[in-house]
Amino acid sequence: MEAASVQQAGATQPRRRSKGIPERRLAIMMVAPSMILIAIVAAYPIIYAVWLSLHEYSVRVAGLSRWAGFRNYSNALSDPAWWAAFEHTLIFTVVSVALELVIGLGMALAMHEAFKGQGLLRTVVLVPWAVLTVVTAIMWRTMFVSPYGFVNTVLGTQTVWLGSEPQALIIIILADVWKTAPFMALLILAGLQVIPGEIYEAAKVDGATTWQRFARITLPLLMPAILVALIFRTLDALRIFDLPYVLTQGQNGTSTLSTIAQEAFATNRIYGLGAAMAVLTFIIVMIVSFSYIRFVGGNIRGLADE
């Protein structure tokens, strides 16, 4: 409908336009600033990183570089350290996002109910999200440092949490869930609030139970919001850096794709290899986000049609 009316509007005044700038050119000019901006902030770094990843830059001799083809990629992919980081990142992503989704959904449903102190609850729930990740990491480090952290005191144990596998990774997952479940809740709450109340009333009249209303109305209509939240969180999780960097320095089974790329690029200044690792992360992130939109996005349509 809207599209049609716009076309009509355009068709009624072709004469006036033709005297000034042609419509097509005008369109290009109006889009140009944002395209240039995207090119600067998104396209350039991507192309530049790919360019870097196809070269080798000498760490020992000033100014020496050479074409490397895909050698940086084959070096990264044949390194067990890369595969270990890949595995840790995957485990971290799957477990933390799943927990965040469940807890976030619960939080959102609680916050959505009308009751006294609702505003206070919403504020309190959001506090962890407002804390900087590095501060979160330092906080959790203090809690779990052995043997003086309060966790050991409370549990009466002497466990070296951050120095053992798989405890270290579990703590990183918990810290991430603590920090980002509220973010998940916020996005889902926004989705909940746009579901019209009449649908529930109609369902009640038809005799639907609470569970039926949740499973048949809330969840399907919430799917788009959940999908957005999932994409955000998954992509963030795949790039996890600060928590392992501060909590464990990437040791004890907590190295991730980002910590090893940072180490190669920034610490060791092996720019080609570091860039190749970053590009690999980029490709993984792209595949994941694309399949989300492709497969889960399709499901939404199916559910909505039902």
Partner 1 sequence: MRGRFGLGAALAVSACALVVAACGGSSSSSSSSGGGGGSSSSSGGVTVTGAKVIDPSSMNSPPKGTIHYCQGKDTTGAGKAVVSEFNQKYAAQGYKVVLTEFPASADQQRAQFIQRQQAKSNDCDVFSSDVIWTAEFASQKWLYDMTPYVNQSRTKYIPAPLETVHYAGKYWGVPETSDAAFLFYRTDKGTAPPATWQAVYQQAAKQGGIVYQGAPYEGLTCDFLELGFAAGGQVLDSSGKKSAFNSPANVKALQLMVDGIKNGAAPKAVTTYMEPETDQAWTSGKYGYMRNWTYAYAADNTSTSKVKGKYKVAPLPAFEGGGKAGILGGHNSVISTYTKNPGLALKFSDFYASPDFQKTLLLKFSQAAVIPDTYSASDVKKAIPYAPELLQALRQAKARPVSPVYPQISQAIYKNVNDALAGRVSPADAIKKASDQINSALSTF
Contact residues toward partner 1 (CB under 8 A) are: 41-42, 44-46, 48-49, 52, 55-67, 145-148, 158, 160, 162-165, 231, 235, 238-239, 248-252, 261-263, 265-271, 274-275, 278-279, 281-283, 285-286, 289-290, 293-294, 297
Q: How far apart are CB 161 and partner 1 at their closest, in Å?
A: 8
Among positive and negative, which fits the CA dihedral 93, 228, 180, 177?
negative
Q: How far apart are CB 64 and partner 1 at their closest, in Å?
A: 6
Toward partner 1, which CB reaches closer, 142 or 209? 142
Toward partner 1, which CB reaches closer, 107 or 240? 240
3-state secondary structure (DSSP) of residue 282: helix
Q: How far apart are CB 63 and partner 1 at their closest, in Å?
A: 5
Toward partner 1, which CB reaches closer, 2 or 206? 2
User: Radius of gyration over alpha carbons of the chain, in Å?
Assistant: 25
Toward partner 1, which CB reaches closer, 105 or 261? 261
Q: If residue 275 lies in a helix (H) or strand (E), which one and from where to where?
A: helix 271-291
Toward partner 1, which CB reaches closer, 22 or 45? 45
The closest of 149, 205, 143, 210 to 178, measured between CA atoms, is 143
Q: How far apart are CB 194 and partner 1 at their closest, in Å?
A: 21
3-state secondary structure (DSSP) of residue 269: coil
The closest of 286, 194, 283, 282 to 231, measured between CA atoms, is 286
Q: How far apart are CB 112 and partner 1 at their closest, in Å?
A: 27
Toward partner 1, which CB reaches closer, 124 or 293? 293
Among positive and negative, which fits the CA dihedral 272, 234, 247, 84?
negative
- Going by the DSSP 8-state scheme, the letter that residue 49 receives in this structure is H
Q: How far apart are CB 141 and partner 1 at their closest, in Å?
A: 9
Rounded Cα distance, 95 and 89, in Å: 10
The closest of 229, 246, 129, 230 to 189, measured between CA atoms, is 229
The closest of 181, 168, 178 to 247, measured between CA atoms, is 168
The closest of 33, 2, 28, 53 to 282, measured between CA atoms, is 53
Toward partner 1, which CB reaches closer, 17 or 66? 66
The residue written with tokens 């440092």 in the block is: 145
Toward partner 1, which CB reaches closer, 218 or 256? 256
The residue written with tokens 């569970």 in the block is: 211
The one-letter code for the residue type at 173 is I
Q: How far apart are CB 190 and partner 1 at their closest, in Å?
A: 18
3-state secondary structure (DSSP) of residue 158: coil
Q: How far apart are CB 201 and partner 1 at their closest, in Å?
A: 33
The closest of 165, 93, 136 to 243, measured between CA atoms, is 136
Toward partner 1, which CB reaches closer, 164 or 217? 164
Q: How far apart are CB 284 and partner 1 at their closest, in Å?
A: 8
